[in-house]
A and B are shown apart, each in its own frame.
With several copies, the nearest count.
Chain A
Amino acid sequence: MSNVVPENTDAAVIMRDVDKWYDSYHALTAINLTVARGEKIVVCGPSGSGKSTLIRCINQLETIRSGTITVDGIELTNGGENVDKIRREVGMVFQQFNLFPHMTVLENCMLAPIKVRGVSKAEAEQTARRYLERVRIPEQADKYPAQLSGGQQQRVAIARALCMNPKIMLFDEPTSALDPEMVNEVLDTMIDLASEGMTMLVVTHEMGFARKVADRVIFMDKGEIVEMGEPESFFSNPQNERTKTFLGQIAH
């Protein structure tokens, strides 16, 4: 696993001068970010500011044009074989859940461990049931996603990602497709997870969650990291004009 490991050998994620383009659109500009192991980071910012793009670059759902990304000590080069290694260590939860509709909840959770990690069926099932328990829906194991509420589906998605025993979890607006009454059940699950020491990068506008859980809050605008700080100072005393305006809007 030895790779070019720059300064902080122990960081979970290191992004250095990352630039991302969609054809002629400059989506991320000179991103520098180091995430320590066990750290919880909340990313916020206006729509289109590049939040999703940022976290999707980390497990290379998007390929970057320049810069380097190092995840768990492994440097990620575009399309290389390291991608597979890294994806095994990074779990991701999407806004739209993206559960596999033709598989039961249990099957959703067992697929990747069996096919990617090569664990036995019995072991995969055991792990899956354990994590379903942890997100508090063990009794839904044999249902299909369409039979669950949005909040339940998102918790399955979290369990599915956890079944791979990832070192880092990425969340892209995990609660914004949910009806208000289901937001909290998902946030609670995430708070549990945070308290157990998982490294987390979370795109969200749930500021209550950020205050409670985040070690750092990052504010993005127009593809740049505009401000970054501990939640206390970030919310009470933002430095940047755009941050102020934005926080003013979402406070309503």
Chain B
Amino acid sequence: MGYQFNFAPVFNNFDQLLYGALITVQLSFGAILIGLLIAVPCAAAKTAGPAPLRWLVSLYIEVIRNTPFLIQIFFIYFSLPALGIRFDPNTAALVALAVNVGAYATEIVRAGIESINRGQIEAGKALGLKGHQIFRYIIIKPALRTIYPALTSQFIYLMLNSSVVSAISATDLAAAGNNIQSTTFAAFEVYLVITAMYLVLSLGFSGLFSAIGRKAFSYPLAR
């Protein structure tokens, strides 16, 4: 109603938005990679590890899954320095995202491991393979294939969630938008464009992930 849309400020600063998007992509991929490196051993520990380790992993998963990401990132950036642990904002964002996605991915990967037929493990044992070899060569790939769709949506959710890291002055896409918005006051226009950019990113991510999935899991499934 009488509102004059003005996208000029947005497009004049589009390079900032692109840079922010680049950071968002970097943060997301970094977190996904580290998150997987956390998740796979944690899931292994939770299915086959000693009791105290299982308990520890459960604690990690439950704490992360039952508290908001925003609180987690405040905690990491503002509270950890009191314990002598200090990250710059983008690193703190990366750590928070990785720790967060690691917990979710652990649960997903664990479900995948548990979906593997016992017969596969027994066949490995009967061939003389050791526990870790069975995990590495027999279990993990089919397990990841089973849970790949769930993992993919979790990764996309993580990328969207990363918009929160601007609260600790990380310089992601949302922060770039906030900066432009706060100097140009074209709030609606800025958020509209950013939202569209996130949509493009998430569509791009799911396209990319399914391409990776097709490549990585090309073996045929039994009918």
A residues bordering B, Cβ < 8 Å? 59, 61, 84, 87-88, 90-92, 94, 96, 98-103, 111-112, 115-116, 144-147, 157, 160-161, 164, 170
Q: Which of B122, B127, B137, B222 meets A101, CB within 8 Å? A: B222
A88 touches B126 (CB 8 A): no
Instruction: Determine the chain A residues whose CB is within 8 A of the CB of B138 once the complex forms.
Output: 100
A146 touches B220 (CB 8 A): yes
Instruction: Determine the chain A residues whose CB is within 8 A of the CB of B127 once the complex forms.
Output: 87, 91, 111-112, 116, 160-161, 164
B221 at the A interface (CB under 8 A): yes
A98 touches B120 (CB 8 A): yes
Q: Which parts of B95-140 form the interface with A (CB within 8 Å)?
A: 117, 119-120, 122-123, 125-130, 133, 137-138
**Closest A residue, CB atoms, query B145:** A102
Q: A94-B119, A101-B219 in contact; A115/B133 too (CB < 8 A)?
A: yes
Q: A111-B137, A146-B221, A146-B223 in contact; A100/B126 too (CB < 8 A)?
A: no
A185 CB to closest chain B CB (Å) equals 19
Instruction: Determine the chain A residues whose CB is within 8 A of the CB of B217 once the complex forms.
Output: 102
B residues bordering A, Cβ < 8 Å? 117, 119-120, 122-123, 125-130, 133, 137-138, 141-142, 145, 217, 219-223
**Closest B residue, CB atoms, query A103:** B219
CA distance A107 to B89 in the complex (A): 47
A84 touches B142 (CB 8 A): no
CA distance A98 to B119 in the complex (A): 6
Q: Which of A112, A144, A170 meets B128, CB within 8 Å? A: A112
Instruction: Determine the chain B residues whose CB is within 8 A of the CB of A98 once the complex forms.
Output: 117, 119-120, 122-123
The residue in B125, B128, B129, B133 that gathers the most chain A C-beta atoms within 10 A of its C-beta is B128
B221 touches A87 (CB 8 A): no
A61 touches B126 (CB 8 A): yes
A55 CB to closest chain B CB (Å) equals 11
A79 CB to closest chain B CB (Å) equals 12
**Closest B residue, CB atoms, query A87:** B128
Q: Would you list the 10 A-B pairs with minimal beta carbon distance, nearest first?
A: A112-B127, A98-B123, A92-B126, A87-B128, A98-B119, A116-B128, A146-B220, A146-B222, A88-B128, A102-B141
